């Protein structure tokens, strides 16, 4: 067991913690989703910094693999993609504050009309193009079905798309059917001739609900090889490859005597002599405190239990005496024949895989791309 912080012959790790993003997996997932969508175009959802994967590199990879357009949550996110040199069509999903419409127009972003009021703001800027979002049951954003005609009239020739969002395509087929029935009735009741895109399918819709696909699907979580149910399932069953691995390294190793505790509150106490490896990743990096005494990591190809509480800057894993300073630690990803998926981390933390990856702090978790 080495205790030298810079063992001879060992390279320095790239940082305290880092994420490796496989852009080949992103391209693979675009192809896999398009095959399932049977000819529908694909809108790659790269909001929230591409779910924590890094928006510009992921967007480029998705477009190179055949994505037709991109989607973000805010005008600022869209403008950042333009600054990175991306010229593809970009849709802003959420409603905009008045000042953001000017940014959207300068950055050539399509925006979403969620109400008659937002439609009038869009109409005041003839250079904007808009998608009309219909509320079919999510009850978060969107125009009520009985107001669609009014909003359609306000937008006029600026309208290029119409869509809805499925609330439970990953869990409730009956509720999804009711939403799609309402959306179809709305489409039949109004003249949307000339719009470029009708869309309803999120990741779960694109994979599991053929009726939702229309002429465009907009995968988010599946684009990154994450399972749409959030805390269960194996992405490979849907032909998807996880794109992100989260790694750190062994920074110190010590031996705990029987009865000694670890970390704040000493919530873990050794029942027998135990080797403990300190790993410099904590909740400031986005490795959640809820994982305390629950999670595992891969060290030397084996699963190792997290001992005690996750702290702001570090956590501790139980290891063997053969573990050395500088050994790679895999928090999400594969090592040897073992793997830990984001879905498993989500279960340990009582959350979903979306939050696991989007919660990684880009200021403290460096991304690299392969």
If you write DSSP's letter for every residue of 17-77 in order, what string do you get? EEEEE-HHHHHHHHHHHHHHHTT-EEEEE-HHHHHHT-HHHHHHHHHHTT--EEEESSHHH
Q: Which CATH architecture has domain 23-232?
A: Alpha-Beta Barrel (3.20)
pLDDT digits (tens, 9 = 90+) for 223-244: 999 999 989 989 999 999 999 9
Question: Distance (Å, rounded) from C-alpha 318 to C-alpha 103?
Answer: 51
User: pTM higher than 0.85, yes or no?
Assistant: yes
67 neighbors 89 (Cβ within 8 angstroms): no
Instruction: Report the C-alpha gap between 115 and 99 in whole angstroms.
Output: 17
> Which pLDDT score is estimated for 3?
42
Whether residue 175 contacts residue 167, with contact meaning beta carbons closer than 8 Å, is answered with yes
Are 52 and 79 a contacting pair, CB within 8 Å?
Answer: no
- pLDDT of 9 reads 54
Report pLDDT digits (tens) over 167-226. Answer: 999 999 999 999 999 999 999 999 998 899 999 999 999 999 999 999 999 999 999 999
CA distance 234 to 230: 10
Q: What is the pLDDT of residue 8?
A: 53
Low-confidence stretches of the chain (pLDDT beneath 50): 1-6
Interhelix angle 55-64/23-37, rounded to 10 degrees, is 50
Instruction: Please provide residue 19's backbone torsions phi and psi, each rounded to the nearest 5 degrees.
Output: -115, 130
3-state secondary structure 81-146: HHHCCCCCCEEECCCCCHHHHHHHHHCCCEEEECCHHHHHHHHCCCCCEEEEEECCCCCCCCECHH
Distance, CA of 168 to CA of 179 (rounded, Å): 10
Q: In the chain, which segments carry CATH 3.20.20.10? A: 23-232
User: Any idea which fold 244-369 has?
Assistant: Lyase, Ornithine Decarboxylase; Chain A, domain 1 (2.40.37)
Residues spanned by CATH 2.40.37.10 within the chain? 244-369
SS3 203: helix
The pLDDT, as a whole number, for residue 10 is: 60
Residues with a catalytic annotation lie at 47, 264
Q: Cβ contacts of residue 327 below 8 Å, gap of 6+?
A: 249, 250, 277, 299, 300
């Amino acid at each position: 067991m080495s205790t030298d912080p810079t063992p001879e012959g060992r390279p320095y790790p790239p940082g305290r913690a880092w994420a490796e993003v496989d852009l080949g997996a992103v391209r693979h997932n675009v192809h896999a989703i398009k095959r399932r969508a049977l000819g529908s175009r694909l809108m790659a959802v790269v909001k929230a910094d591409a779910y924590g994967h890094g928006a510009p590199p992921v967007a480029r990879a998705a477009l190179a693999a055949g994505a037709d357009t991109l989607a973000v949550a805010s005008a600022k996110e869209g403008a950042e993609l333009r600054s990175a040199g991306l010229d593809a069509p970009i849709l802003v999903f959420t409603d905009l504050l008045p000042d953001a419409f000017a940014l959207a127009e300068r950055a050539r972003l399509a925006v979403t009309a969620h109400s008659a009021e937002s439609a009038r703001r869009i109409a005041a800027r003839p250079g904007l193009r808009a998608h009309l979002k219909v509320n079919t049951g999510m009850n978060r954003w969107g125009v009520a079905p009985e107001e669609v005609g009014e909003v359609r009239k306000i937008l006029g020739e600026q309208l290029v798309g119409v869509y809805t969002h499925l609330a439970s395509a990953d869990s409730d087929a009956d509720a999804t059917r009711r939403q799609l029935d309402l959306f179809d009735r709305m489409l039949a009741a109004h003249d949307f001739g000339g719009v470029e895109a009708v869309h309803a399918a999120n990741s779960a819709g694109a994979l599991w609900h053929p009726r939702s696909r229309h002429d465009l699907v907009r995968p988010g979580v599946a684009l990154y090889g994450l399972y749409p149910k959030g805390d269960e399932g194996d992405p490979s069953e849907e032909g998807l490859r996880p794109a992100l691995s989260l790694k750190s390294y062994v920074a110190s190793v010590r031996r705990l005597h029987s009865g000694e505790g670890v970390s704040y509150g000493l919530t873990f106490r050794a029942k027998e002599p135990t080797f403990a490896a300190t790993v410099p990743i904590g909740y400031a990096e986005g490795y959640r405190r809820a994982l305390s005494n629950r999670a595992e990591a891969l060290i030397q190809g084996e699963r190792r239990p997290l001992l005690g509480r996750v702290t702001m800057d570090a956590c501790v894993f139980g290891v063997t005496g053969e573990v050395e300073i500088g050994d790679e630690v895999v928090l999400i990803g594969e090592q040897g024949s073992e793997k830990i998926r984001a879905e498993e981390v989500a279960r340990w933390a009582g959350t979903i895989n979306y939050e696991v990856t989007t919660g990684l702090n880009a200021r403290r978790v460096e991304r690299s791309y392969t």
